[in-house]
Structure 1
Amino acid sequence: MKRTHLPLNGLRVLDAAARYLSFTRAADELAVTPAAVGQQIRTLEDVLGVVLFRRTAKGLELTPEGAAGLDALRRGFLEMEEAVRAMQAQQSSRHLTIAAPRDFTAKWLGARLAAYGRTDPELAFALVASDDGLDFTQANLDLAVCFTGEKGEHEGVPIGPRAFVTVGAPDGSARPIGWPGCPGGESEPIATVADAGLAIDAAIAGLGRATVPVLLAEADLAAGRAVEFGRQEVERGYWLIAPVPQWRQKKVKSLVAALTQ
């Protein structure tokens, strides 16, 4: 018999009926009617090709065929319960694997994960750089951050405004600093760097002005390390995304709530 065809409902009814030797009491435990228990037993007998119970003058009696597999059946149920508990334990674990662009982690996510981590000493994070693509299956990810126009096929919520800000030092050069993804590209930049985070750092140093996502620059602007020279709305923004199974995890829901509050 293939495992995928095991009549699990009928076997559960058999276990209960064998313990009580009563369809009525088994029905009470299983929250069904005695007639439903009888139907499950008859179906199971048809599938297995054996008689499981007989009615005698003393009441319901388990046949030798029915008794033969009970010990193994009950061990199997206990193992399934252990498997469910193991899966639930993993579901409630405090370890989260998060993929995000390097500059986003450095300029925004890292500080917030540190703050969130202080709420629970058992929390642990594995951070994966998503600059070169995203694969939830291979990386075993719980959550990812993407800079995109919409969440796409996954579940997700936007974070931060869909806007870019131009930042620099008060006495720094006014020439642009280029980086892959800057809006419209930069003609004749004074320098080109690998990402928006490095562009912000170069702008703070006075090398030039960087046009970057507002979310990445807000901490440096608030601290006075950078000066704003204008903003512009764009079609893309940062999203927290995950496939439905990951998105439904309690640990992911809690993290998303912390990051979006």
Structure 2
Amino acid sequence: MKRTHLPLNGLRVLDAAARYLSFTRAADELAVTPAAVGQQIRTLEDVLGVVLFRRTAKGLELTPEGAAGLDALRRGFLEFEEAVRAMQSQQSSKRLTIAAPRDLTARWLAARLAAYGRTDDELGFHLIAADDAIDFTQANLDLAICLSADKGEHEGVMVGGTGYVTVGIDAAPDRAIGWPGCPQTDNDPVITVADAGLAIDAAAAGLGQATVPALLAEADIAAGRVKALAAKEGEKAYWLIAPVPQWRQKKVKALVAALVG
């Protein structure tokens, strides 16, 4: 069934004016001018085809037609407010769903989520593996992390910069280890693996040298698993991204601040 178009602004003005029986006091509540209230009421009367208020010697008076629907109108506004609270309930939750590459989760993200989680017992995380086409609607995501040249169509912020590092061990031969998306090298890869994290593992095993995002290699270099052999700037970086509605959520802003800071 086709729904009737509701003049919601006019109905909100009617509610306020009926409570105060004063356009001036209604205007104060609604933060508009009395003239604007009067215009809204006249427009609503034209739409409904009834007179809602009359001016008398005692002041403003609500007509029977105007009074007839007030109880139902106010119940309706209460239902609207309840609907808004229901829609916002997930925003008040502190559980976040995050999509990220597996190697970044293992080497960088998990430790930072653990540290952030210790700041608030109510925080919770649902991690899923990111793929090339992140669908925020289908996965009900709050935030995603991707390795890309920019943030694309979403809101976002870069984390870790565009620095890349070539890693290996002392005895590592000068042979490249390839992975999807790795920067171009002078040598053909001696081995190709599924992601940059596995490239670091292959370098640690002595199979060759891997050029990977510096952010991803930080922990392995600090632990002495591999050595930083060279540095360069790359075209891609890790981006924290989300559509505007998710990006504006308080819980997402707090998480982004914790990860970037």
Q: What is the CA deviation profile of residues 203-256 of structure 1, one whole-angstrom value per residue up to 9, with x for unaligned ones?
A: 223343322211111011112222222222222211112222222222221111
- 1:138 corresponds in structure 2 to 138
- Return the alpha-carbon distance in structure 1 between the equivalents of residues 183 and 228 of structure 2: 16
- 1:229 corresponds in structure 2 to 229
Aligned length: 260
Q: Which amino acid aligns with 1:163?
A: G
- Would the alpha carbon gap of residues 159 and 33 (structure 1) be closer, same or farther in structure 2, given more than 3 Å must change? closer
Uncovered stretches (5+) of structure 2, i.e. residues with no partner? none
**Does the Cα contact within 8 Å between 1:151 and 1:239 map onto a contact in 2?**
yes
TM-score, length basis structure 1: 0.89
- 1:245 corresponds in structure 2 to 245
SS at match of 1:183: coil
- Return the alpha-carbon distance in structure 2 between the equivalents of residues 32 and 227 of structure 1: 66
| C-alpha displacement of 1:172 | 4.8
Question: What CA RMSD, in Å, does the superposition of the two structures yield over aligned residues?
Answer: 2.3
| C-alpha displacement of 1:4 | 7.3
Q: Which amino acid aligns with 2:83?
A: A
- Return the alpha-carbon distance in structure 1 between the equivalents of residues 148 and 4 of structure 2: 41
- Would the alpha carbon gap of residues 209 and 12 (structure 1) be closer, same or farther in structure 2, given more than 3 Å must change? same
- 2:197 corresponds in structure 1 to 197
- Return the alpha-carbon distance in structure 2 between the equivalents of residues 44 and 11 of structure 1: 8
- Would the alpha carbon gap of residues 188 and 254 (structure 1) be closer, same or farther in structure 2, given more than 3 Å must change? closer
Report percent identity of matched pairs. Answer: 78
- Return the alpha-carbon distance in structure 2 between the equivalents of residues 219 and 41 of structure 1: 66
**Does the Cα contact within 8 Å between 1:163 and 1:233 map onto a contact in 2?**
yes
- 1:26 corresponds in structure 2 to 26
| C-alpha displacement of 1:111 | 1.1
- 1:71 corresponds in structure 2 to 71
Q: Which amino acid aligns with 1:84?
A: V
- Would the alpha carbon gap of residues 188 and 87 (structure 1) be closer, same or farther in structure 2, given more than 3 Å must change? closer
Larger CA deviation: 249-258 vs 201-210: 201-210
TM-score, length basis structure 2: 0.89
Uncovered stretches (5+) of structure 1, i.e. residues with no partner? none
